[in-house]
Chain A
Amino acid sequence: MATSLAAPPGNFDAERVRRDFPILEQQVNGRPLVYLDNAASGQRPLAVLRAVEHYETHTHANVHRGVHALSQAATDAFEGARERARRFINARSTREIVFVRGTTEGINLVAQSFGRPRLGRGDEILISALEHHANIVPWQMVCEQTGCTLKVAPINRRGEVELEALFELLNSRTRLVAVAHVSNALGTVVPVERIVQAAHSCGALVLLDGAQAVAHSPIDVRALGCDFYAFSGHKLYGPTGIGVLYGREELLEEMPPWQGGGEMIRTVSFERTTYNDLPWKFEAGTPNISGAVGLAAAMDYLESLGLEALAAHEQRLLAQATAALERLPGIEIIGTAAHKAAVLSFTMRGCHPHDLGTVLDSQGVAIRTGHHCAMPVMTFFDIPATARASFGCYNTEADVAALVAALEKAREVFG
């Protein structure tokens, strides 16, 4: 990437990036907005807003099968977005890029289309104790449907997956390992390459939940070696309601469709229906075309910033925020893995996370409080909830300072 070479990591210009995000210009509760809820959803840069607007203003029609000009233009835009996504994660072919609503739908697709038909009693699915509910519940549903068993690899007090324990749980019955690439609740970066290697040597396939990883570092599914990779557009500054499921072509080829309807068929008669080719076999119904266009624009935008430079910028903010919070009395950081993305989960003694969220909001600082759809992680740390600040491309040192000042305000209120 030329940009990342041209912009050394130390010179990432977040102030300039901020100007690309009109939503950040507002005041909240009389204070300038400090948006630190990026792990829940990123904001949209003008480039994405304009791409979607241009598509809606000039190009929209239903995709595929149309002979009129707009339908062809819309198809080109939609399939162009697929090619963009392929390049973004370095998949071999666009046949491996299935557009879905988001990470959750991608995982459910694999659970129902890959898992349900071929799993049965005696088979095992292995996840970790770090997972988001979206990488737990679909597997529990498959276990109920097929009689297979869900195994859970433990985490340690730093919030890291216990790799040795995970390896011990791997055996010839393990059919699929499904783990987060980056934990949404704690920010832990999971050493997925080692997990892929170990799983494959046992004959198990690997699905990676990439929701939290895609906006923070370059993703190369071939280098990772995973069999499935799911992510959402809105976590990487694209629209909501669009995401990608990557699957190795030979696997997707063998998998049956999971939803029936238009688009996913080749021929339909009441006697027999034949299915469309990849990836359309998995895209029943009219897709989120403008969402795909916006997602492609978000990928262009992220690469123009330089994902490596961005990662270095976020790591600097994480280090600053971590050091600042460690100095604040009564703050406990939850999730202290050696390798973390820019997510900072914490609690404050004497102040429930929910109260903390309200106090910070009064200061214009938007963070998330709660269980972050990872109740088992909260149970492990024996806490009902955490406060979570998560950083993105437009966050600055001033945002870290605003977070610290707001936490001092909370300490003042709660004594």
Chain B
Amino acid sequence: MDLKDLYRDVILDHNRQPRNFGALAHSDAHAEGHNPLCGDRLTVWLRFEGDRIADIRFEGKGCAISTASASLMTEAVKGRDKAAIKELYDRIHVLLTEPHAAADASLGKLAALGGVSEFPARVKCATLCWHTLNAALEHSADAVSTEE
């Protein structure tokens, strides 16, 4: 278990300075994610142009993994349409849950989350924002959790 594999520089940077952080005025959809056991909590706001996410912001409190994952996610999905996001989500899920998954160059900076799969207790931290994004895309009113 190598700490540097989990807390890569990209993760630490996005934890310290999360991108697209803070509420989005005039959003078209939003959703809340909450993992009460560890206390991670975040809100994701979306603005659409047609089928495409024109803008996305998030706000919340959480550990480095959940904060960095959300920050990286907002950068990755901005400008993409729902189908592309679904496809990206599937690849992220493999990255986060399957140790030694083959490096996927198309993931770009999101690949920095590759160390999470070696820390099973932390997978839920990294997936919370993605499940919350899904809920926002589906206009779900219920808070999302990735804890069992």
Size category of the A interface is 20 to 34
What's the minimum C-beta distance from A28 to chain B, rounded to whole angstroms?
9
Q: Which of B56-64, B85-93, B96-104 contacts A (4 or more CB under 8 A)?
A: B56-64
Q: Whose C-beta in chain A lies nearest to the C-beta of B61?
A: A384
Bound form: Cα–Cα A235–B81 in Å: 53
B37 within 8 A of A: yes
Q: How large is the interface on B (under 10, 10 to 19, 20 to 34, 35 or more residues)?
A: 20 to 34
Report yes or no: B39 in contact with A371, Cβ–Cβ below 8 A: yes
- The reply to whether A355 and B39 contact each other, CB–CB distance below 8 Å, is no
The answer to whether residues A371 and B12 also contact, given A354-B125, A358-B122 and a CB cut-off of 8 A, is no
23 CB contacts below 8 A, A to B, read A351-B64, A352-B62, A352-B64, A353-B39, A354-B39, A354-B63, A354-B65, A354-B125, A355-B65, A358-B3, A358-B121, A359-B7, A370-B37, A371-B37, A371-B39, A375-B36, A378-B39, A384-B40, A385-B38, A413-B3, A413-B12, A414-B64, A415-B12
Q: Are A355 and B64 in contact (CB under 8 A)?
A: yes
> A residues bordering B, Cβ < 8 Å?
29, 350-355, 358-359, 362, 369-371, 375, 378, 384-385, 409, 413-415
CB < 8 Å neighbour of A359 from B3, B16, B61, B121 = B3
**Complex CA distance for A256 and B113, rounded to whole angstroms:** 56
Smallest CB–CB gap between B70 and chain A, Å? Answer: 13
Most buried by A among B7, B41, B125: B7
How far is B39's CA from A188's CA once the two chains are assembled, in angstroms? Answer: 23
Closest chain B residue, CB of each to CB of A28: B1
Q: Does B39 contact A384, Cβ atoms closer than 8 Å?
A: yes
Query: How far is B63's CA from A350's CA once the two chains are assembled, in angstroms?
Result: 9
**A351, A353, A385, A415, most chain B CB atoms within 10 A:** A385
In the complex, chain B residues whose CB is within 8 Å of the CB of A359: 3, 7
Q: A362 and B1: CB pair below 8 A? A: yes
